[in-house]
Structure 1
Amino acid sequence: MSADSSEGAESAEGTPAYDREARGLRLVAVLLGLTVVSGLIDAVSYLGLGHVFTANMTGNVVVLGFAAAGAPGFSVPHTLASLGFFLVGAAVGGRVAVRLGGGSRRTWARLTLAAEAVLLGASAAVAFAAPDATATVYVLIAVTAFAMGLRNATVRRLGVPDLTTTVLTMTLTGLAADSRAGGGPGTRSPRRTASVVAMVAGAALGAWLLIHHGLGIPLLVTAVMVAVLAAVVSGRE
């Protein structure tokens, strides 16, 4: 019997057979790493692409309202482009989940994260090649928003509690409402706290890299980070 066909079975001695899903870094750690990436992406998009978010769509909907009201520094076309490409990416991610979600979680996560890494790498290449071109802003918004939509659809279907990787409103609500001070058990506080810290760290790193090195370097960092996570992710929470 091959290693693949024996997955999940038991050996003749009664010990568990090799489990490919357990090989690699657990999903909780990977999703925390992706939360850092989200902070980086939103720092780049908001500070470097005209006050638009490409990972945090909650903020983007609010920004769209600002732009529609004529508030200075905000752009309706930029925000609509981000929302539109995010939705397209999420739709593609949903299709991928239907196709791959019934099989190995490890394979599914690896493929979608590898696709995200390629997209972010392409964004970095565009930023390095033509940092001052008018079209560059739209290309970076479109590609990063599509990548974030693809990832969000995947993370949603994976269903790891309290780790959405891009939004923290419910995470913060859970921290307060389920804490001992709020009358709850406080059992998920470490994971939720880690998610908040990861987002802040990513945003701070992204802002610093953007201020000192321009658009290309922080986008390259996100591509490398996601590529590493794709290579080491397991299928276990």
Structure 2
Amino acid sequence: MESPLYITSIGIDISSNDVRTSSNIIKKINKELPLVVPNGIKSVLSNITGDDIVITSLVPEELIKENNSSILSLLKKHAEGFDDLNGISWDPKEARAGISYAMAKAGSNYGDSIIVSFDTYGGEDIVNEMALFVEDIGKKYGFDVGSSVSEYPKEIPGVGYSGRDTDDPVVVITFKELKDLPKLAGLIFGGLLSFNNLYFVKCGSSTDILPPGVIYTMSAFLNGNVIDLYPGIIKRCNII
């Protein structure tokens, strides 16, 4: 019997500033990520949202711990800022704001999914509500959903715990059929328009907003390929 497959997303700020991720970090992570994860694992840099990055993997259940640990080592190697890394602890009582971790069961062997990543500048008191709204959309329509938002310290297999005050959440929604992608993306985009001080941006954008506020990116993970959904949604809606 084959082991069940999961989509895992690790969101973290390893930047030296609060508004953008350096091109140096992006280049090094993209280059070395395929070399450090276990053989056969599809793992990619799926979202770059302000000073936060998200690494998303399609991984069998028995390799989740090893995969997470390998990614953590890579992040430590190339970090320019260490606040999130230092927030992780093997003791949940000592865990502080750290890694945002989301996991959902894959709908197929391709691991097709949507990853929504948020970054805040002064919007820490409102961003979790936005992430939970996205989570509710996925659950309402019967999809498997994972969210980093938690009322308690969140366990990250192979890594430790992140504290309940971890911000900049990540939400993963998996699906079986490619035709579900535009429906899901449209529901998420349309629903999030109801929030004030929230900006939908292209992956790789810095947090160039009027604070306090929140930005978010939305990507599709399709059999290990990543598509930034911003250009397609904007064109389809004829916004610009």
- TM-score normalised to the size of structure 2? 0.28
User: TM-score of the superposition, structure 1-length normalised?
Assistant: 0.28
More helix by percentage: 1
Larger Rg: 1
- Name whichever structure is richer in strand by fraction: 2
Q: Which structure is richer in relative contact order (CA contacts within 8 A, separation 6 or more)?
A: 1
